């Protein structure tokens, strides 16, 4: 029995003849929380877009349950994985509940209305993300953080085995960051989560595995203890920092500081 949710084999991706991803090889095991970290421009979002077929790899290199993603119809792929994008523009005055119900569209035929089951799954997803009280609000009247939680609810309502998240907590305050990450962590009992995160300490705290990228390549991957090391972080992020153990969970915790060299430039 294949325990991998996603298998990536020798993935390359170029845009306008510029290679963005180079020789990506990684397996995502089922029912785990994966974080992808790395500096801006390292290829994290491009990797997610290749996995979701928003950007199409030119060769057979990404497989879901041993099936190449290029062989999936869009509707079939949407029943396998859901996506929480980094930025979403919504041009119409949909309510928050309308947006979450859109997560059920892969299961509906053309012109078919949502069933009681669809509404139940949408309500459950909104309760999980603390957005049910926003159900009648117009999506574009919500704050950035509220809208982000509604988009996460839409992905949950899609009821897939895999959820890809591109900076899912970037617009949230600290309380809602922890609330959403706690929810996501619980979901890994039955769902594989692959999330791009910028906060290295939250990635360390919540992830089962971490993938460190730079310049379109995977530098290293493994458990937080294996990836969040002083050597790795200094080498990729080019910062001065010290490493301690989180006293709550004994995970690596980074304390960055300004170097004397940078201070002298001020």
* Per-residue model confidence as pLDDT tens digits over 187-233: 899 899 999 999 999 999 999 999 999 999 999 999 999 999 999 99
**3-class DSSP state of 77:** helix
Residue 175's H or E segment, with its range, is helix 174-187
- Is residue 242 within 8 Å of 236, Cβ to Cβ? no
Q: pLDDT of the chain along its 266 residues, tens only?
A: 457 899 999 999 998 888 899 999 999 999 999 999 999 999 999 999 999 999 988 788 999 988 999 999 999 999 999 999 887 777 788 999 999 999 999 999 888 888 999 999 999 999 999 999 999 999 999 988 898 899 999 999 999 999 999 999 888 899 989 998 998 898 899 899 999 999 999 999 999 999 999 999 999 999 999 999 999 999 999 988 899 999 989 999 999 886 555 555 55
- Is residue 70 within 8 Å of 54, Cβ to Cβ? no
**3-class DSSP state of 190:** coil
Q: Is the pTM here over 0.95, yes or no?
A: no
Q: DSSP assignment, residue 254?
A: E
Domains of the chain, CATH where assigned: 4-224 (3.40.50.300)
Task: Give how far the C-alpha of residue 35 lies from the chain's centroid of Cα atoms, to the nearest Å.
Answer: 7
Res 259: pLDDT = 55
**3-class DSSP state of 211:** strand
Task: Please give the Cα distance from 180 to 152 (Å, whole number).
Answer: 9
Angle at the Cα of 140 from the Cα atoms of 138 and 142, rounded to 5 degrees: 80
Residue 65's H or E segment, with its range, is none
């Amino acid at each position: 029995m294949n325990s991998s949710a996603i298998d990536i084999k020798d993935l390359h991706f170029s845009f306008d003849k510029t290679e963005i991803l180079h020789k990506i090889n990684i397996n995502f095991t089922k029912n785990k929380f994966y974080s992808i970290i790395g500096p801006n421009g390292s290829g994290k979002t491009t990797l997610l877009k290749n996995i979701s077929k928003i950007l199409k790899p030119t060769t057979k290199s990404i497989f879901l349950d041993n099936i190449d993603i290029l062989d999936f119809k869009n509707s079939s792929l949407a029943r396998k994985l859901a996506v929480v994008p980094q930025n979403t523009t919504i041009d119409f005055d949909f309510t928050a509940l309308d947006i979450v119900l859109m997560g059920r569209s892969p299961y509906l035929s053309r012109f078919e209305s949502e069933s009681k089951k669809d509404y139940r799954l949408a309500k459950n997803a909104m309760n999980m993300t603390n957005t049910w009280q926003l159900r009648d609000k117009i999506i574009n009247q919500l704050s950035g953080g509220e809208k982000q939680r509604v988009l996460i609810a839409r992905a949950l309502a899609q009821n897939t085995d895999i959820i890809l998240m591109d900076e899912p907590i970037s617009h949230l305050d600290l309380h809602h960051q922890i609330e959403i990450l706690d929810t996501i962590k619980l979901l890994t009992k039955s769902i594989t989560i692959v999330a791009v995160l910028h906060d290295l300490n939250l990635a360390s705290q919540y992830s089962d595995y971490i993938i460190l990228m730079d310049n379109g390549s995977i530098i290293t991957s493994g458990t937080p203890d294996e990836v969040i090391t002083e050597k790795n972080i200094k080498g990729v992020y080019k910062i001065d920092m010290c490493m301690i153990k989180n006293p709550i969970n004994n995970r690596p915790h980074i304390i960055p500081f300004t170097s004397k060299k940078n201070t002298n430039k001020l």
